[in-house]
Amino acid sequence: MDKKKLKELLIQVKKGKIEVEEAFSILKNLPFEDLAFAKIDNHREIRKGFPEVVYCAGKTKEQVVAIMKRLVAFSTNSVLATRADKEIYEAVAAEVPNAEYYETARLIVVRKGEQQKKGNILVISAGTSDLPVAEEAALTAEVMGNRVERLYDVGVAGIHRLLSQKDKLEKARVIIVVAGMEGALASIVGGLVDKPVIAVPTSVGYGANFGGLAALLSMLNSCAPGVSVVNIDNGFGAGYTASLINRLGEIDK
């Protein structure tokens, strides 16, 4: 239930088209629904414009399935589950119709509402090994209604691969840069453009990358302004934030 749907309901009540009792029974579960092990935040779609997203790590299959079923029942928009392995997907698919699985990105998506794509988000990755995180970002943004372009494997060891595609940088409203190892790509992109850059450090690498710490610190210390950073391997967070930013170009029109 999003803001529009809620307002309509209230207008119906005011006009007497819906009985108070009926409205009450619809709304009473709204703020959250208690599944004992989880309080589903049905109100989130109204506050944030997108329903609660299920973080599968550390949850049992049964818990994920139960939460997904309630979210799908209640939401106006598509429903997303992140960090889902194949086994979890299969458990969900058995009970939730139309659940799709994106293996590289480890995402489960249940599409709802219009699937229109607006604006332009560019997802850049430094290397092929960064693909899972880059795809998590790209698909999250797409599911949230954004047009997404991909520019993969353009790391700084061969910087001409990036420089030859400046038109893609030009066209984007907001850019996501996904890079492991030293994460230098975020600074390079940040130095070339006049739009917000969301940097995603990945855990790709070994030794003194300390599980992504090297790329994380590198991106936080970017000498190019306009770069902000999300957690290591957090493609979802980058896609979500980029979506909020990209929407600004739409909403205000």
Least distance in Å: CB of 234 to a copy of itself?
Answer: 6
Least distance in Å: CB of 17 to a copy of itself?
Answer: 28
Relative to beta strand 99-102, strand 79-82 is: unpaired
| Residue whose CB is less far from a copy of itself, 9 or 226 | 226
| Residue whose CB is less far from a copy of itself, 16 or 208 | 208
Distances (CA, A) of 131 to 59, 125, 144, 168, 180: 25, 7, 20, 19, 11
| Residue whose CB is less far from a copy of itself, 58 or 97 | 58
Least distance in Å: CB of 29 to a copy of itself?
Answer: 13
**Distance from C-alpha of 77 to C-alpha of 23, rounded to nearest angstrom:** 21
Least distance in Å: CB of 246 to a copy of itself?
Answer: 8
Least distance in Å: CB of 14 to a copy of itself?
Answer: 22
191: tokens are 């130095």
| Residue whose CB is less far from a copy of itself, 18 or 117 | 117
Half-sphere exposure in the Cβ direction for 167 (13 Å, CA): 1
**Distance from C-alpha of 41 to C-alpha of 48, rounded to nearest angstrom:** 11
3-state SS class at 198: strand
Amino acid at 15: K
| Residue whose CB is less far from a copy of itself, 108 or 204 | 204
**Distance from C-alpha of 99 to C-alpha of 94, rounded to nearest angstrom:** 9
228 strand-pairing partners: 198
**Distance from C-alpha of 119 to C-alpha of 97, rounded to nearest angstrom:** 29
Q: The tokens 């599944």 sit on which residue?
A: 35
Element (H, E) at 187: helix 185-192
| Residue whose CB is less far from a copy of itself, 99 or 180 | 180
Least distance in Å: CB of 142 to a copy of itself?
Answer: 16
